[in-house]
Amino acid sequence: MEGKTVAQTRVVMARSMQPTDANGYGNVHGGAIMRFVDEAAGAVAIRHARARAVTASLDHMSFEAPAHIGDLVTVTAYMTYTGRTSMEVTCEVTAENFLTGEERRISRCHLVYVATDERGNPIPVPPLILETEEERARWRAAEERRARRVSL
Ligand SMILES: CC(C)(COP(=O)(O)OP(=O)(O)OC[C@H]1O[C@@H](n2cnc3c(N)ncnc32)[C@H](O)[C@@H]1OP(=O)(O)O)[C@@H](O)C(=O)NCCC(=O)NCCS
């Protein structure tokens, strides 16, 4: 199976936060961010596999700063690791105040997707072609996370 580079499937999704995304304090719900992250990361996995991809896991996700209604929230998602049928995608989330231009880092997390056929059975994915030293370092870190997940 022909491999794919990280750059070939990278996704950047941006959306301004609406009142329906808010909690009672005017901040964006953590769940709204998680859904957005899953959408962006899922798009990366599907682009890589060109097949259905289901979310198998989302590692610990912490929120370093709040996002507010009206902010432009951006999720940058890219492939960090591929196994036989699974793929790890890393997401970086930022929020920008439209009026001031101030940008805050909201979160960073790792999700695992598994490519499946129509019946939900795992199927092989193309290998990931690593082009830069940064991508090779991310791969090694993802291998360690995978080992930790398996031991859980
Ligand atoms: C993910 C799923 C397809 C795995 O099926 P399975 O029969 O356990 O598959 P296998 O044991 O053959 O493992 C397949 C791959 O998934 C990986 N995997 C399975 N469970 C995992 C988990 N919880 N976290 C991370 N990776 C996982 C395995 O390491 C393996 O990777 P590899 O092929 O790269 O080595 C199955 O558990 C499933 O359908 N889960 C529900 C997914 C879903 O509906 N998500 C949305 C939530 S509402």
**Angstrom distance (rounded) from CA 72 to CA 112:** 26
DSSP of 39-56? HHHHHHHHHHHSSEEEEE
Nearest to 22 by CA among 91, 73, 93: 73
Q: pTM, whole model, 2 decimals? A: 0.96
The predicted pLDDT at position 13 comes to: 98
Q: How far is the CA of 130 from the centre of ligand 1 (A)?
A: 24
Residue 29 binned pLDDT confidence (cut-offs 50, 70, 90): very high
Q: How confident is the model at residue 101 (pLDDT cuts 50, 70, 90)?
A: very high
Where would I find the H helices in 10-132? 30-49
Can you read off the two tokens belonging to residue 59?
Answer: 């590692």
* Residue found by looking up tokens 């009142």 in the block: 19
Q: Are 106 and 93 in contact (CB under 8 A)?
A: yes
Residue 12 CB neighbours (<10 A): 11
Separation CA 127–CA 130 (nearest Å): 9
Q: Which atom of ligand 1 is nearest to the CA of 121?
A: 3
Q: Which of 48, 86, 110 to mutate to test the pocket of ligand 1 (most atoms within 8 A of CB)?
A: 86
Instruction: Give the pLDDT band of residue 114 (cuts 50, 70, 90).
Output: very high
- Binding-site residues, ligand 1, Cβ < 6 A: 54-57, 83-86, 112, 114, 116, 120, 122, 149
Task: Judge whether residue 25 has pLDDT over 90.
Answer: no
Average pLDDT, the chain: 96
- Given a cut of 80, is residue 152 above it in pLDDT? no
Please say if the pLDDT value at position 23 is more than 90: no
Q: What is the pLDDT of residue 81?
A: 98
Q: Which atom of ligand 1 is nearest to the CA of 150?
A: 29
Mean pLDDT of 66-92: 97
pLDDT at 24: 85
CA distance 39 to 69: 20
Among 75, 67, 79, residue whose Cα is nearest residue 92: 75
Residue nearest to atom 39 of ligand 1 (CA): 120
